[in-house]
Amino acid sequence: MGMRVAVTVDDREPSGLVEAVREHPDVTEVVVDRLPSGDIAIDSIGFERKTPRDYVSTAMGRSGPDLEEQVARMAESYDHSYVLLEGDFLDLESLRTAVSPESIRGSMASITARHEVPVVPCTDRSRLVDFAIRLGRKHAEDPSSRRLPVGAVASRREPTTKRMYGCIDGIGPELATTLYERYPTVESLLAADLEDLTRIDGIGETRAETIYAAFRNDGTELE
C-alpha cells in the first residue's frame, strides 16, 4: 500500500470536490482553507482545477482571471505546480466557442513548455482527484528534485524581516510581501492575533495558526 497524504482544498471550491478528495482511500485528512493560489495543495505541490470551459475562458482571455497569472502565482507558492482539467481533448473540441481546437492545444503546450507547469486532461473529477493525489505521493516519496522549500525568499536584497516571513511553512513570496507590508517588524507581527491574521487576503485559519506559532518557540498555546 502506498503512502497516504493530507490535502488542502481552497474554500472557494465546490463541496463536491471536497467530498471527492475526502473519499479517496489514500487521503488522511482534508483541510478546507484559503490557498494563496491554486485549488488543491498537497504539501508543497499545487494544482489548479479547470473545467474545459473554464480553461478556454481563462487561457484564451475570454473572461475571468488570466490563467498565465494564476500559473505564475502557483510557481511562486509551490515547489511543483500542475493545471488539471476535468475533461479530455474531445470535451475541449466539443465546446462551442470561437477558439479552434488547435489553438486550445497550442495554449496547453505553451503553458507546459514556458512555465514548466504541465496541463493534464484528466477526463472527469474523480480521475482528477486520483491523479493529483498520486502526483502528491510521488513527489513526497522522491523529494530529491524539489527546488527551494516553498515560501523561500531567496534574494538577499529583500529586508531581513520579509525573508523571515518567507521561510514560514506554506508562505510564498507573495504572502511574505503582504505580511511585511502589514507587519514590517516581527514585533508588530507578534502583537497580531489570529483574527487579525485571517483578515489578510489569502490567509485562512490554518495558515494563520502556522504564522502565529512560527515565532513562538516557547510552546505558547494558540488562543
70: Cα within 13 Å, side-chain hemisphere: 23
For residue 221, being part of any structural domain is answered with: no
Contacts with 137 (C-beta within 8 Å, 6 or more apart), sequence order:
2, 3, 5, 26, 42
What pLDDT is attached to residue 63?
56
Buried b (16+ CB within 10 A) or exposed e, 142-155: eeeeeeeebbbbee
Q: What is the CATH number of the domain that holds 19?
A: 3.40.50.10130
- The end-to-end CA distance of the chain, in Å, is 38
Q: What is the CATH number of the domain that holds 172?
A: 1.10.150.20
Domain identity same for 108 and 191: no
What pLDDT is attached to residue 159?
76
Domain identity same for 165 and 210: yes
10 Å CB burial of residue 173 (0-12, 13-18, 19+) is buried
Give the end of a domain, one of 145, 177, 205: 145
Domain identity same for 50 and 21: yes
What pLDDT is attached to residue 6?
95
10 Å CB burial of residue 188 (0-12, 13-18, 19+) is exposed
Domain identity same for 170 and 135: no
Q: Please, are residues 84 and 128 in contact by the beta-carbon 8 Å criterion? A: yes
Full residue range of the structural domain in which residue 116 is found: 5-145
For residue 154, being part of any structural domain is answered with: no
What pLDDT is attached to residue 20?
97
Domain identity same for 129 and 168: no
Domain identity same for 56 and 119: yes
For residue 190, being part of any structural domain is answered with: yes
What tens-digit pLDDT sequence spans the chain (223 residues)? 568 899 999 999 999 999 999 999 999 999 999 999 999 999 889 999 999 999 998 888 755 568 989 998 898 888 899 999 999 988 988 888 888 888 888 999 989 888 889 999 999 999 999 999 999 999 888 765 444 444 444 454 567 788 778 778 778 778 888 898 999 888 888 889 999 999 998 888 888 988 988 877 544 444 4
149: DSSP letter: P
The H or E element containing residue 166 is helix 160-166
Domains: count for the chain? 2
What pLDDT is attached to residue 17?
97
Domain identity same for 53 and 127: yes
Domain identity same for 123 and 64: yes
Question: Quick one: residue 171, left, alpha or beta (phi over 0 = left, psi -120 to 50 = alpha)?
Answer: beta
